[in-house]
Amino acid sequence: EGSAARDRLLDYYLHVTQIATELDNPQRPRLGAGPRYRPATVPQLARTAEVRSWVNAEHANLLAVARLAAHHRAGDEGWQLPRNVGSLLYENGQHSASLEVFRMALAACRADTPPAVRSACLLDVSMMYKVLGQYRLALDFLEQGTAHAAHSGDRDGIARSLIHQADLSNLIGLFTDAVTYATRSFELYHEQGDRWREAVALTVLMDALTRLGRAGEAIEAADRAALPLDGFANLRQASAVLSRRGTAHSELGDHDRAVRLLRRSVDLARQGEDRRFEADYLHRLAEATRRAGRPHAALEHANEALAILQDIADLFVDAPGATAQMAEAAAKLLGIDAVEVVRGVVDVHGSRASPAADG
């Protein structure tokens, strides 16, 4: 009886987290079977803002059921629920907790777990180490994930590994390697007809080419990444690609075009109610506007970004440093005391953190 009750509890959370992750990150590959027992009543989640609220309210429970599934369930179910929870925590900005849960999902993989699943779990862990700035560990897990994808002939997994390798290479200054990885990733996604990921690969390629001083090729890549809105699955995809394109054009000195693209990325983030991304894109817009010689407009955008960061500090319930880092960048642009701004954001975080998160 106790085992049956536990299974129904885990199936409830598996069902709801699948709904939430598909709203939050629809381009994420869906792996594994669904729950055996479909709950009769579930939260009504139809918008990303509702997902944010649900994840915050359920934070402690999500960590507990992820651990329970990883320790007590066999087969798909052992890794599937932790992987869903890890994705939701990542999208909520809770990076340390997300890494912990993604590692649970990886540990729950068994000898008979499909290589594509193990590859995806390795890539999840790698991505979180990259976000947390631990590039050596990110590379180690990424290489393992790439090997599993190649061994299983998982072309989508190979393409996703390559785009992560390209992005990581850009971060650590290996721009020529980034060009190679991004080009191959683009080719694989083009073969699959995945236009959104083609565009992402092209923006990573554009970033590497820009840093290598190959402006003409970078502009060509940017133009090829210019999909119409109906080419994207959701507003987040569109705003992310526009932001990357705008940032690259700013680096190339085409400031007016950069400002236009970044304004559109901010507008789409607002429409999609993605306030964390809205703040990020506003910060990029402020920098592009400053480079375009419009200091007053740049100041307004930086102030908007900072206000959002202070307002959403409660989203970073276990990673105030993520908010603080963005606040420090905004403060630098504003020319004000970064220490005081960061302290203000962290103070807001401390006053808003939920009791569950403190536990």
Position 230 scores a pLDDT of 60
Position 10 scores a pLDDT of 83
- How is residue 112 annotated by DSSP? T
CB-CB contact of 182 with 169 (8 Å): no
Q: Is residue 355's pLDDT more than 70?
A: no
What does pTM read for this prediction? 0.72
Q: Helices then strands (H, E): number in the chain?
A: 18, 0
**CB proximity list for 231: less than 8 A, separation 6 or greater:** 195, 196, 199
The count of residues in the chain is 359
Q: Rounded to whole angstroms, how far apart are CA atoms 260 and 241?
A: 13
Position 76 scores a pLDDT of 57
Instruction: Kindly state the tokens that stand for 116.
Output: 């594509």
Residue 155: exposure state from Cβ atoms within 10 A (0-12, 13-18, ≥19) = middle
Instruction: Say which residue the tokens 């506007």 belong to.
Output: 289
Mean pLDDT, residues 345-351 taken together: 44
Position 356 scores a pLDDT of 37
Q: Rounded to whole angstroms, how far apart are CA atoms 341 and 329?
A: 10
Q: Rounded to whole angstroms, how far apart are CA atoms 139 and 128?
A: 11
pLDDT band per the 50, 70, 90 thresholds, residue 261: very high
Dihedral angle computed from the Cα positions of residues 156, 157, 158 and 162, in that order, rounded to the nearest 10 degrees: 100
Mean pLDDT, residues 15-29 taken together: 81
Percent pLDDT > 70 in the chain is 79
Q: What does residue 274 show for φ and ψ, rounded to 5 degrees?
A: -100, 85
pLDDT tens digits for range 188-217: 988 888 887 888 888 889 889 988 988 888
pLDDT band per the 50, 70, 90 thresholds, residue 51: confident
Q: Rounded to whole angstroms, how far apart are CA atoms 265 and 284?
A: 10
Whole-number average pLDDT of the chain: 79
Position 43 scores a pLDDT of 76
Q: Rounded to whole angstroms, how far apart are CA atoms 260 and 246?
A: 8
Instruction: Kindly state the tokens that stand for 249.
Output: 């054009």
pLDDT band per the 50, 70, 90 thresholds, residue 313: low
pLDDT tens digits for range 23-48: 777 767 777 777 676 666 777 777 77
| Cα-Cα-Cα-Cα dihedral sign, residues 127, 128, 131, 137 | negative
| Amino acid present at 321 | G
